[in-house]
Structure 1
Amino acid sequence: MAEQWTGRFGGLGLAADQELLYLHLLGSQGLTAAGLAAAVGMGTERASAALGALADLGLVERPAPDGTVWRTTAPDVALEELLLRRELELRRTRGRITELLRTYRRTSTGADGDLVEVITGREAIADLWRSLQLGARGELRVLDKPPYIRRSDPELELASLARGVRMRVVYESQVLRDHARLAEIHRYTEAGEQARVLPELPLKLALVDDCWALLPVSSGTAEQSVLLVRPSSLLDALTGLFELYWSRAMRMPPPDSTEPPRDRHHQLLTLLAAGLTDESIARQMGVSTRTVQRWVRELMDRFGARTRFQAGIQAARADLL
């Protein structure tokens, strides 16, 4: 057989026979149906049917009335047109989701089946979260804290940001003590994520496009079940909860230790307000723990404060936070 099916055009709706014939004809040009069938190890009748389907898709030209030779059309034009057609079909299908959801709700058991669904199992939860991320079109809002189902997929979030999805994330300061995780977060913020930090968060929460919320059933150390919440007063309440914590959180400072002193003090105050330890602050700012302690003492002296908390209050009053 001259070609092997790769499935590379499966997203365009091409079946195995169609792809095999298209790829072979693309590299040969000007073959009869019988010649193509022999080249790929396929029956002539089966090859003719596949070629007819390719012609309907605009990928090949049918033989002239006085000929038997098949040829491909220009791939850039033909494939672009086919892609546009597929995108239109997908948009139409997306428009039917609401109708399908109504049918699903009518057949769901239990009064709460319409609005809240329990998802059980680590793999099922991870797959659901991945699907929600891939389906996001407007905004993702997240309260982020351990434990995690599995390590995050940076490429998935970066792809969402690249296609214009707005992302706002509030991280619990405990997360930032992991150097690898912190580097990952900085990668996200450089790509456009808006990140803030708080000493503690009450729960993990993800909001997708004002359509869904995902949160754990319990706050234990191992997540085995989550709630998928659809549009309802509960979803509105969870949205309000996120916005409340977002408004209270401190902006994540950039990973840059070469800033001028005033900016360095601002970064230091932000990290202190986020609840990070001296060791974590030193690691993030690229200095020693003793240097951090010295800077903290300088700030306390500057504001005439006897405690770090008092220094934070004075800094907020001075618009340094």
Structure 2
Amino acid sequence: MVPSGSRGAQGGWLEGLGIPEHEQTAYLRVLAAPHRTAAELAAELGTTAERAERLLAALTEQGLVNRHDGEGARWSAAAPDVAVEALLLRREEELLRTRGRVAELMRAYRRAHRPHADDLVEVVTGQAAIAERWRQLQDGARRSLAMFDKPPHIVRSDPALEHALLDRGVRVRAVYEAGSVSAPGRLAEIREIVEAGEEARMLPELPCKLAIVDDRWAMLPVASGAELHGAVLVRASSLLDALSGMFEAYWQRAVRVPQARADRAEPDRRTELLTLLSAGFTDDSIARQLGVSPRTVQRWVREVMDALGARTRFQAGIQAARAGLL
């Protein structure tokens, strides 16, 4: 018995796997009655033995039927749960490869419809290539450099590069995310570069890593994540203008990293404590930065809040800003 759906308009069981309907019909005939000869199949299909041979050869190549050589060649269908599953996996792999080429097709499409798009945006892949492009951007800066410093970092910051920028009169502004400053000693490193001329501020969280050079270029990650494998280089455009506007908005909200007082080598404790609190540091993080215990930090926080007449840490930050302490 041939399974229902094997003839004419009822066919199409395997068309999604790229099997033509006439091959499906032949397969279903062999499936229903194994050990068929080409002549028997030709008689059932109303075609020639040569055409039946070609159909069986095509089905054999697909792994749907097996040939039994002996006294006259005969064919039997392979078990569908194995044979069809193998075809499904093969088709899925082909579809995935095709999906992977969509980006390539889109690049060709954009080149045809927007010939200058490639001049505005460039994708840099690989950590070594990203680090080298970042070094080139710093070397090429002439007026300004604005940065969001946010993990992950693919290379350790190079103070010598930034000192060179500052020495040739480049204005450097950086907003540091709390997680980028929490490592022991990192705040001291930032304070050193601030003493050299960098303008530095902090926030609990930033939307992305970002660098804007001379209002001519911007570089930011292709995607957020624990590792940085791709970056987008944006040239002068409305997109660059939007990124510059975003930086300015976060810069205005950020808390200034305090500089040392003229009569002391370090900022006073209250200013530093308020800065770290306003930037979203926890008591444990503040304790690590200042080299004291969390209990001591909690006591200092209470003293500062009492002095400012604040009920919460947030209120303490507002009061400190109003008093010009930050």
Scaled by the length of structure 1, what TM-score is found? 0.61
Partner of 1:25: none
Mean CA deviation greater in 294-303 or 207-216: 294-303
Distance, in Å, in 1 between the alignment partners of 2:118 and 2:145 is 24
Give 1:188's aligned residue: 193
The Cα shift of 1:302 comes to 3.0
**CA distance in 1: counterparts of 2:133 and 2:112, whole angstroms:** 21
2:118 alignment partner, SS class: helix
Match of 1:154 in 2: 159
Q: Distance in 2 between matches of 1:280 and 1:156?
A: 28
Which one of the candidate residues 271, 284, 287 is aligned to 2:289? 284
Deviations 1:223-277 (A, max 9, x none): 1111100000000000011111111111102367x969x9532332121000112
Map 1:63-102 onto structure 2 (within 5 A).
none
What CA distance in whole angstroms lies between the structure 2 residues aligned with 1:230 and 1:193?
24
Q: Would you say 1:238 and 2:243 are equivalent positions? A: yes
1:151 alignment partner, SS class: coil
Tell me the SS of whatever aligns to 2:123: strand
The one-letter amino acid paired with 1:115 is L
| CA RMSD across the alignment | 2.6
C-alpha distance 112-318 of structure 1, shift in aligned 2 (>3 A): same
User: Do the aligned partners of 1:115 and 1:231 also contact (CA within 8 Å) in 2?
Assistant: yes
Partner AA of 1:218 in structure 2: A
217-226 or 305-314: bigger deviation: 305-314
**Partners of 1:175 and 1:182 within 8 A in 2:** no
One-letter amino acid of the structure 2 residue matched with residue 161 of structure 1: L
Provide the rounded CA distance (Å) in 2 between the counterparts of 1:259 and 1:200. 30
The question of 1:172 aligning with 2:157 is answered: no
Q: Which runs of 4+ in 1 moved over 4 A?
A: 106-111
User: Structure 1 vs Structure 2: percent identity of aligned residues?
Assistant: 63
CA distance in 1, matches of 2:146, 2:206: 14
State the shift of 1:205 in Å. 0.4
- Which aligned pairs between 1:45-60 and structure 2 lie closer than 5 A? none
Q: C-alpha separation between the residues in 2 aligned to 1:315 and 1:125?
A: 40
Structure-2 separation of matches of 1:229 and 1:304: 47
Residue 293 of structure 1 is matched in structure 2 by: 298
**In the TM superposition, what whole-angstrom CA distance separates every residue of 1:131-170 from its partner, at most 9, and x where no partner exists?**
0101111111000000012222221112221222110000
Which residues of 2 match residues 248-259 of structure 1 at below 5 A?
A: 248-254=253-259
Alpha-carbon distance in 2 for matches of 1:109, 1:244: 31
2:125 maps to 1:120? yes
Q: Which protein shows a greater Rg?
A: 2
| Superposed displacement of residue 107, structure 1 | 11
- 1:111 Cα offset (Å): 5.0
Quote how far apart the aligned CAs of 1:317 are: 3.9
1:187, 1:314 → 2: CA distance? Answer: 27
| Whole-angstrom CA distance in 1 between matches of 2:174 and 2:158 | 15
Structure 1 stretches lacking a partner, 5+ long: 1-105
Per the TM alignment, residue 179 of structure 1 is displaced from its structure 2 partner at its CA by 1.8
Instruction: Specify the alignment match of 2:315 in structure 1.
Output: 310
Give secondary structure in 2 for the equivalent of 1:206.
Answer: strand
Amino acid corresponding to residue 191 of structure 2 in structure 1:
H
- Secondary structure at 1:128 match in 2: helix
Change (3 A) 1:123 1:110: farther
In the aligned structure 2, how far is the partner of 1:276 from the partner of 1:282?
A: 10
Task: Specify the code of the residue in structure 2 equivalent to 1:205.
Answer: L
The one-letter amino acid of 2:283's match is D
Say whether the 8 Å CA contact 1:255–1:285 is kept in structure 2: no
The residue number in structure 1 matching 2:205 is 200
Counterpart contact for 1:115–1:230, Cα < 8 Å? yes
Name the aligned partner's letter for residue 184 of structure 2: H
Paired positions, count: 214
Structure 2, unpaired ranges of 5+: 1-110
